[in-house]
Every structure is written in structure tokens, then in C-alpha cells.
Amino acid sequence: MSANTWTIAAARDALRKGEISAVDLTMSCLTAIDAGDALNAFVHKTPEIALEQARAADARLKAGDAPSMCGIPLGIKDLFCTRGVPSQAASNILRGFRPEYESTVTAKLFEAGAVMLGKLNMDEFAMGSSNETSCYGNAVNPWKVDDRLLTPGGSSGGSAAAVAADLCLGATGTDTGGSIRQPAAFTGIVGIKPTYGRVSRWGIVAFASSLDQAGPMTKSVRDAAIMLGAMAGHDPKDSTSADIPVPDFEAALTGDIRGKVIGIPKEYRMDGMPEEIEALWARGIEMMRDAGAEVRDISLPHTKYALPAYYVIAPAEASSNLARYDGVRYGHRAKLAAGDGITEMYEKTRAEGFGPEVQRRIMVGTYVLSAGFYDAYYNRARKVRALIKRDFETVFAEGVDAILTPATPSAAFGLGEMADADPVKMYLNDVFTVTVNLAGLPGISVPVGLDGQGLPLGLQLIGRPWQEAELLNYAHVLESRAGFVAKAEKWW
């Protein structure tokens, strides 16, 4: 098998044994990337940087100083600022922007020896669930069952497509309402959103600062554990980054979950949920029970209100965060007419630079924060958020160790199918994932099976705060028992 199809764990072991060089491994990915343009996953390719980093990794491997990520070729979501390399958040308003600094996450990955292959497609400013709001045009799901092209999900759609199509060994993603877990489920890969504060947000273009969290998207749970270990850790430059030790996540993958309590929330059994999702969930429950866990029915009574609360809080924070795009310090500035003043400059620049979904969310956020509506919308949503968090605290206090739910309400849908739908319909994609961001918890999506058409479906496990290690172990059990090995058949 060509080396670009390997897992991070397999590549690490082969690199350390000298069975392959980081340069050869990187070359196999670069070749796959060039052959994968139809997926539109990589939107800025950085082969020179990749080969330079690969040569440096080979030197480290030779010297015996090789952390787990040394020589591992990765794709980086366009939301991460990478020094000297376009970092556009898939928005026209950041066209031409080349940061003078490196995000903490990419800096940590590079310190660990990882190789950057390029920047990955995404929804504009991470606002979307299908990758269709991108200024680069949508990424395409490598999974295909008829003549339709399918969405890889969003917002980390390019990351998901690239990993699923073996263009890279792993990718960074970010997750504000499900943007790692939903695309992972749509493409049959693993994606974990860590506890809020586990991974530094510094240098990642901000969407909703109290919800955003970066995490790895990989081909296996073990790979997620390895890569998360390199991304996580305290950062003085992010005041919400937690100053607590990062455990050895990979060492936690014992496969032993006997006696652990897995909660099954009845509120996630939605009206109109496809039978296949229900059946997949039942199989997952059986797998956990079979592994010796105690399965317990639980209630998270405020689940229903998570989506509306999210769609107040996230746009509110976005309207504030995105105020910085004013055409003054970086990115696009509109051409001005004679007599235009600074207000016209702001208004024209932002109208030209932001796409329709981003504009809509900024305006919703502006409205819910405006005088007279702040209490009715924003404060009420924050109160409901407190109740959603309390729901989780209550079940954890009653002894539940992790919670098992579906990852998405459906398999991947066709590109363009939602074009005429109400924006709220697209928001429903986040129904199972958004509670986790509101409560700041870790959540992981694991591929468990295929639907009747042959498309991947995932289940989500939600853990206690800071217990990613335990969560990864539950996910590892689910992964081993599900035995999901299907890959997208190559058509591109």
C-alpha cells in the first residue's frame, strides 16, 4: 500500500525503524494531493515547506530525537495562521493575507516534527455544515454512491475529505458547533473536539471564542490520541488555555472499559430520525455493553434548546470577533468612489469581502446584542446555556462516565441539495454535537458503519471535562468492535 494511506501510528513506527524516510512519505502525499484536485480539499499547497520540514524530520529521526509526530505529513485547516502562508479562513475578506506569526497549534506540531502539506478548504470563517460557504468553492466528499457529488460536511470539510482520501495522514480541524465531528462522520474518519481550554486558540481565526476548540482529524482513534498529545497544552498567549498537565493519551488506549457507565440520553432520540441512525446507535450500545460497560438510560432535559441557544450565542460572539475585518489592517479593501468616507469604506469592504452566510450571522449577532434585545435574546441564551451545562454535570455526578449518541442526523447529503433550504434547516446538522460545545466538554466522532446506500455513519461519545484520555479509550473500544475498515472507492 502506498505510504500516504498509512495511519500516523504505522508511519511513526516505519519512520523510526528506517523503513521509509520522511521525504518519501511526504512525496507520496504530495503525489496524492496533485492527483486529488477534483476533491478541492487543498486550497493552498506548500510542497517546498513540506519537503524542507521532511528533510529536517529525517535528520531528527537519524539523530534518535523523534517525537511521535516527527515526519508525519499533515493538512492544516485554512483557519490556522501559518507564517508566510495564505491563511484566509476561506473568506475573500482575507484574500492575500499572509500572517507574520504562527498559531500555537501549528507551532507545536512543527516543533514535534510534523510536516505541513498545505492549507485545507473549509466553510467561510467556519460558518457552515457543508463546506459550501467557502470562497474557494466547496470541497467534495471522496465517498460517492451514485452520480451525485456529496458534501464532506463542514466546517472542516477539506480536512475530512483530505484524510478520508489519503491525501495526508491527519489534519487539524476546529469545532464550534460540530465542525470536526460532523465532517468526520460524513467521511468515515475519527475527529475529536477536546475540552474547552485543552488546546490553545491563539493564532486560530476566531469565530465564537467561548465555543471554538481545535482538534485532530485522523484515520484511527490511536492517531487522534497521538496527534492531540502534540496539539494540547497550556499557552500563556490564550488566557482560556488550561494550565494542567497533558496526559499520555495513547497510553490510555487499554481497551478495558469494564464497569464504566455509559449514558444513553433519551432526548437524542429525535422525531423523524432515520431508522438507520437508530439501528447504528443500538449497535453501538450493544458494543459497549459487550465490552463490559454498564449502559444506563439518562436524561439531558434541555437538549432541545441547545440549537436555538447556540444560534444566539455563536453569532453574537462572531459579530464582535469579525468587527476587526474593516479593510484597514489586513485583507481586502473595497475600491472607493470619490467622496466616500471611512463608513463607506467599512460598509463596502465588508459587503464585498463576506459571503452571504457570514453576513447573515454577523447581522443576527448584531441584532441580539443590540439595545433592547440583549436581555431577551443574548442573556436568555446564556442562561439556557448554563442549564445545558448543568444537565451534563448532573449525570456525571450520578456516576456516568461517558455518553453515547449519534454523531449526525443523517449521512452525507448531496452538494447543492440545501441551496434553497431555509438557513435553519442547515443548522439542524449540529443537533447532536452543539450541546458539547455549549458545555465545553470533549466529544469524539467514530465511524461505526455504512448506511443502506453505502455511506459512512458515525457515533459520538461525550466525556467528562479534561478526561480526553478516558474518552479516547471508550472510542477505541467502539472502533475495535465496530471494525470499520471501509474506504471511499477512488473516482477522482
Partner 1 sequence: MAIDIDTARKVAKLARIRVEEQDLPKLAGQLSGILGFMEELNEVDVTGVEPMVSVTPMRLKRRADVVTDGNIQAQVLKNAPDAREGFFAVPKVVE
Task: Map the footprint of partner 1 across residues 243-262, applying CB under 8 A.
Answer: 243
- Here's the x/- map for partner 1, 213-242, by CB under 8 A: it reads as -----------------------x--xx-x
Q: Which three cell numbers stand for residue 203?
A: 493564532
Binding residue for partner 1 (CB under 8 A) from 296, 333, 481, 487?
333
Per rule CB under 8 A, is residue 207 in the interface with partner 1?
no
Count of residues engaged in binding partner 1, rule: CB under 8 A: 71
- Give 77 or 332: the residue with its C-beta nearer to partner 1: 332
Which residues, 139 to 158, sit near partner 1 by CB under 8 A? none
Q: Does 424 bind partner 1 (CB under 8 A)?
A: yes
Phi and psi angles of residue 150, each rounded to the nearest 5 degrees, phi first: -105, 155
CB of 371 to partner 1, least distance (A): 10
For partner 1, the closer of residues 348 and 487 by Cβ is 348
Q: Looking at the DSSP assignment, which residues form a beta bridge with residue 296?
A: 263
- Residues 453 to 492 in contact with partner 1, rule: CB under 8 A: 465
Instruction: Provide, rounded to whole angstroms, the least separation between the CB of residue 465 and partner 1.
Output: 7
Which amino acid is residue 203, in one-letter code? G
Residue position matching grid coordinates 450520578:
398
**What SS3 string covers 339-403?**
CCCHHHHHHHHHHHHCCHHHHHHHHHHHHHHCCCCHHHHHHHHHHHHHHHHHHHHHHHHCCCCEE
38/323 with CB nearer partner 1: 323
Strand partners, 402: 262, 463
Closest CA to 57 of 27, 34, 84: 27
Q: Is 399 left (phi over 0), alpha (psi -120 to 50) or beta?
A: left
Q: Interface with partner 1 includes 370 (CB under 8 A)?
A: yes
Binder among 100, 271, 275, 420 for partner 1 (CB under 8 A): 100
Of positions 197, 216, 233, 263, contacts partner 1 by CB under 8 A? 197
**Would you give the binding string for partner 1 spanning residues 428-457, x where CB under 8 A is met?**
------------x-----------------
Of 427, 432, 474, 484, which one interacts with partner 1 (CB under 8 A)? 427
List residues with catalytic annotation. Answer: 77, 155, 179
Candidates 441, 170, 89; CA nearest to 300 is: 441
Give the closest residue to 121 by CA, choosing from 79, 85, 83: 79
Region of 42-50, 136-144, 288-296, 383-391 interacting with partner 1 (CB under 8 A)? 383-391
CA dist., res. 295 & res. 2, Å (int): 41
